[in-house]
Structure 1
Amino acid sequence: MSALAQEAVPPNEPDGVEWRGAMPSLRLADGAFTLTPTLRLDADAGSFFGQDRAGGYRSGVNLRRGRLGMEGQLAPGWTYSVVWEFGGPSPNDYGELYEAQVAYTGLGWGTIRLGAFQPQHLPEYAGSSFDLPFLERAAISNIAASLASGSARMAAGLEARGERWNASAYVTGGDATTPHDHRQRGVAGRAVALLPGLDVQLGLNAAAQFHPGTSPGPESIRLRDYPELRVDSRRFLDSGTIGADSAWAAGPELAGRLGPLYVEALWQRVEVDATAGGTRRFEGWYAEAALPLVGNPRERSAETGSWKRPKGEDGPGALELAARYSTADLRADSRGARQDVWTLGLTWFPTESVRLGIQYENGRIRRGGDDRDFQAIGLRVALNL
């Protein structure tokens, strides 16, 4: 949910329709109920080259996100959000529910949230994807989140916060965008705190899946991800389908600012309790840095325990240069693959609602005798209202 839905409405404003930023807002019952439409569009283009084997990644274009919804206040202390998704890695002609949640914010120190939403489980999932330094999250973040969190997760949880700390815990079900996933059961959580006297945050996060459900098959788990660019449906980073009783992922995280330079790192151990062949152990990590070339550096959000996109002054906006190395190893018993990607990105935020990004990738997929090298250029034009 955007900050717009959580802004306090002045009590003496009249009911009716008014403009808040670029969107109209409906106000009723002396502000007890509000409704504001939301719109998110991410249009991507990607070109792969330098591939040394046939049948590799294909270049293309994609409506990565096409979200239309509404959000606001249901009653004092209660907020809501409903969002429909018309984009995605493999867009279809009917769309799907992305978010439908209610939240009680009257605790002051925390929020109780229920429905289909994005739990604050990992650094790259704690805040909005509009704030990410790159076009996509690192592969290991998506793999760990796929167990019990990620976008559009059916969940109920508590998000608590202080000036220098943030913690969250959820019980979760399936993914609202995945058919036949309703039997999945799990838990996810995160706890972070700023170091004394520093703008650097340390934390731990974990997720466990106790009931794999029926997707991709009866009581099974499949870990996989894209090459950190989503214009092709192929995913060579793939563990294959594993019959499983349960799985978990956990690890430390670090994020913060050293002067204007923003740094972030994450390591995850993933274990799958397979029904045949014993426990499968995987791991991955990433490290990244982002430097503002124009505008102000990133600032921490106490609400999410993450660093929001840089803000620019009037005129040119904000321009940020970022670099990342990420790796995810899903190899076990001569199956699976490992992916390593170096990424360099440049992002321009001409306004608070518009994002223009370009990134270069240099990656390698290792999977037995079918190793693959690739390079790619990715472009994005994004609008967030």
Structure 2
Amino acid sequence: MMIQRALLAGVGFAALSTSAFAQSATPSADEISALRAQVQALSARLEQLEAQSHAPAPAAAPAVAGTPPPVAVTPRPAAQAAAAPSPVDWASGVPELRSPDGSFTFKPRMRVTADLSNTFGSDFDGRNLTTTELRGLRIGGQGKIAGGFTYWIEADLADNAVSIANAFMAYNAKLGGRDLEVSMGQRLNDRGVEGGTAEDVVPFLERSLMVSTVGPERGAYGVGVSSKLTGSVWHASLSLTGDAISGGTTNDSVTLMGRTHWSPFKTDAGFLHLGGWGFVEDLTPNASVAARSLVVTSRGNDNLRLSSGAYADPKGSKGLGLELGGVHRSGWLMAEGGRRVLETAARDYDQDAYSISAGFFITGEKPPLSARTGTWSRPKVLNPLGTDGYGALEVVGRYDTADYSDNPTGGEADSWLLGVNWYPTNNTRISTHWSAWSIDNKTGTYVGDDSGNTVTVRVQTAF
């Protein structure tokens, strides 16, 4: 701006000088008036230019068609930077690591469960035990990989031994608008409501006798291929597996298993649950004897078990289970039952079991039975323990029974259970369960009809 003022002043001075020298040495009054007018016009122009220098810059004119717009580098607004997803998410209580585009994730998994158990009233003093047990210490991780893949691996430290639980990789996609998952590795059986649910979220401290009885010889886990198709109120699964992770010194048994469930009449108040599952297994010839020792009410007391008896030269087995129950507001009810037929060289043996269970959230939470997967999850506590909260309180009950008496050396057992589950937060649980049990074993250390009571207190945290 100073340069413009100097130029204009110079022009004005030059005009005056030129005019002066162009005229005579003594200019007339008219000439002086004309020169004065020119100087005043130049001064007004200077003031106009100064005013324009302080005004805001005009908006850029629209670009001419065919001309590329100018490239401008501007700093990223603070609000936009704050809205970007964080590479670490603590929403579930443990850090979930994520790549900038969200294609890769990793989240650790952890579970700590400790039990105090007291059994009394048995006719056998060896069963009247008070025990403490680290029921389970499970550590692992899960996440997803770009391209629709997920993974899950965890190890369980229990009973002074280390074992691998879930250890698989899965591919996830959409099929007809439904969620399709195909996995390879070792994972928990999809076998009924309780049998297909992780132990830390089942409403009871132990799965029922029905789950232990009507199942393949290999147990709750098997290595192989599994597939699952899930809709809004139903799912169907199919798996082909061998034995659980082992040393690889013998042939594996082979099991084909399938399950489906449907949750009709779903409303905000609840839904009805219908389901069924079955399996067929081919047992390896190395399994010369098939016998089971089933937990009755508490895993902390190993003297309190049901013996299925021995079965010589087993060839295979097949099982069928049914599910019927539902959820209404804060209450739930579930009945599960089934039969396993064990095939041997001599003859076939029937193994029967069923359970009826129910629960109610006194604090108003919705029972966490999924209408999509037909399994349990953790409850969403309405008022977590804190300044104004007290957690969630649930009352549960169950009757379960198992019958191996088709085998002359097989026993029978049943139990009545009543318990209270307190969930201070979504990830913590303190439970007190009392059960009245009855066992009639035909073989083993404790033979004969016996009954008693067991009280178990559990403290658990899981992420």
Same-fold status (TM-score > 0.5): yes
Deviation at 1:309, TM superposition (A): 4.0
2:184 matched residue in structure 1: 114
1:98 matched residue in structure 2: 165
1:293 matched residue in structure 2: 362
Deviation at 1:55, TM superposition (A): 3.1
1:316 matched residue in structure 2: 390
Deviation at 1:187, TM superposition (A): 1.4
Q: For the Cα contact (< 8 Å) 1:244–1:275, is it kept in 2?
A: yes
Note if 1:43 corresponds to 2:114.
Answer: yes
Classify 1:346/1:334 alpha carbon distance in 2 versus 1 (closer, same or farther; 3 Å). Answer: same
2:277 matched residue in structure 1: 205
Note if 1:244 corresponds to 2:311.
Answer: no
Distance in 2 separating the partners of 1:127 and 1:207 = 18
Cα deviation per residue 1:285-317 (whole Å; 9 max; x = unaligned)? Answer: 000110111131214424421243433212122
Query: Considering only CA atoms, is the larger Rg found in Structure 1 or Structure 2?
Result: 2
Task: Give, as a single letter, the amino acid of the residue that structure 2 aligns with 1:266.
Answer: E
User: Which secondary structure state, in structure 1, belongs to the residue aligned with residue 200 of structure 2?
Assistant: helix
Classify 1:350/1:178 alpha carbon distance in 2 versus 1 (closer, same or farther; 3 Å). Answer: farther
Aligned pairs for 1:267-278 (under 5 A) are 267-276=337-346, 278=347
Classify 1:79/1:33 alpha carbon distance in 2 versus 1 (closer, same or farther; 3 Å). Answer: same
Deviation at 1:129, TM superposition (A): 2.3
Alignment length (residue pairs): 365
Task: Give, as a single letter, the amino acid of the residue that structure 1 aligns with 2:237.
Answer: S
Distance in 1 separating the partners of 2:433 and 2:371 = 29
Distance in 2 separating the partners of 1:123 and 1:177 = 27
Q: Which moved more, 1:152-161 or 1:33-42?
A: 152-161
Pick from 138, 143, 148: which aligns with 1:77?
148
Note if 1:370 corresponds to 2:448.
Answer: yes
Relative to its length, the structure with more helix (as a share) is: 2
Cα deviation per residue 1:13-69 (whole Å; 9 max; x = unaligned)? Answer: 36x545343212322363222111110111111100010124326331111111111
Distance in 2 separating the partners of 1:213 and 1:154 = 19
1:349 matched residue in structure 2: 423
2:459 matched residue in structure 1: 381
Q: TM-score, normalised by structure 1?
A: 0.88
User: Which secondary structure state, in structure 1, belongs to the residue aligned with residue 217 of structure 2?
Assistant: helix
Classify 1:19/1:213 alpha carbon distance in 2 versus 1 (closer, same or farther; 3 Å). Answer: farther
Q: For the Cα contact (< 8 Å) 1:158–1:168, is it kept in 2?
A: yes
Classify 1:220/1:186 alpha carbon distance in 2 versus 1 (closer, same or farther; 3 Å). Answer: farther
Q: For the Cα contact (< 8 Å) 1:166–1:302, is it kept in 2?
A: no
Cα deviation per residue 1:219-251 (whole Å; 9 max; x = unaligned)? Answer: 442233111211023353112331200011112
Q: For the Cα contact (< 8 Å) 2:216–2:255, is it kept in 1?
A: no
Distance in 2 separating the partners of 1:251 and 1:193 = 15
Cα deviation per residue 1:161-181 (whole Å; 9 max; x = unaligned)? Answer: 211211111111112379867
Q: For the Cα contact (< 8 Å) 1:166–1:192, is it kept in 2?
A: yes
Q: TM-score, normalised by structure 2?
A: 0.74
User: Which secondary structure state, in structure 2, belongs to the residue aligned with residue 142 of structure 1?
Assistant: helix
Cα deviation per residue 1:337-369 (whole Å; 9 max; x = unaligned)? Answer: 101100001001111110111100100002356
Distance in 1 separating the partners of 2:353 and 2:429 = 29
Distance in 2 separating the partners of 1:133 and 1:267 = 18
Tell me, which stretches of 5 or more residues in structure 1 are unaligned? Answer: 1-10
Task: Give, as a single letter, the amino acid of the residue that structure 2 aligns with 1:79.
Answer: T
Task: Give, as a single letter, the amino acid of the residue that structure 1 aligns with 2:373.
Answer: T
User: Which secondary structure state, in structure 2, belongs to the residue aligned with residue 125 of structure 1?
Assistant: coil
Distance in 2 separating the partners of 1:256 and 1:213 = 42
User: Which secondary structure state, in structure 1, belongs to the residue aligned with residue 164 of structure 2?
Assistant: strand
Aligned pairs for 1:76-225 (under 5 A) are 76-87=147-158, 90-92=159-161, 95-107=162-174, 108-147=178-217, 150=220, 152-176=221-245, 183-196=252-265, 199-212=271-284, 214=286, 218-225=287-294
Relative to its length, the structure with more strand (as a share) is: 1
User: Which secondary structure state, in structure 2, belongs to the residue aligned with residue 30 of structure 1?
Assistant: coil
Cα deviation per residue 1:104-163 (whole Å; 9 max; x = unaligned)? Answer: 12234221122111122211032332221210110121222343661x321311111211
User: Which secondary structure state, in structure 1, belongs to the residue aligned with residue 332 of structure 2?
Assistant: strand
1:229 matched residue in structure 2: 298
Note if 1:257 corresponds to 2:257.
Answer: no
Q: For the Cα contact (< 8 Å) 2:183–2:227, is it kept in 1?
A: yes
User: Which secondary structure state, in structure 2, belongs to the residue aligned with residue 131 of structure 1?
Assistant: coil
User: Which secondary structure state, in structure 2, belongs to the residue aligned with residue 343 of structure 1?
Assistant: strand
User: Which secondary structure state, in structure 2, belongs to the residue aligned with residue 21 of structure 1?
Assistant: coil
Distance in 2 separating the partners of 1:185 and 1:338 = 28
Classify 1:57/1:358 alpha carbon distance in 2 versus 1 (closer, same or farther; 3 Å). Answer: same
Task: Give, as a single letter, the amino acid of the residue that structure 2 aligns with 1:211.
Answer: L
2:413 matched residue in structure 1: 339
Q: Which moved more, 1:236-245 or 1:299-308?
A: 299-308
Cα deviation per residue 1:254-285 (whole Å; 9 max; x = unaligned)? Answer: 12113432001111111111123x11111010
2:103 matched residue in structure 1: 32
Classify 1:177/1:237 alpha carbon distance in 2 versus 1 (closer, same or farther; 3 Å). Answer: farther
Name the % identity. 25
User: Which secondary structure state, in structure 2, belongs to the residue aligned with residue 285 of structure 1?
Assistant: strand
Tell me, which stretches of 5 or more residues in structure 2 are unaligned? Answer: 1-82, 384-388
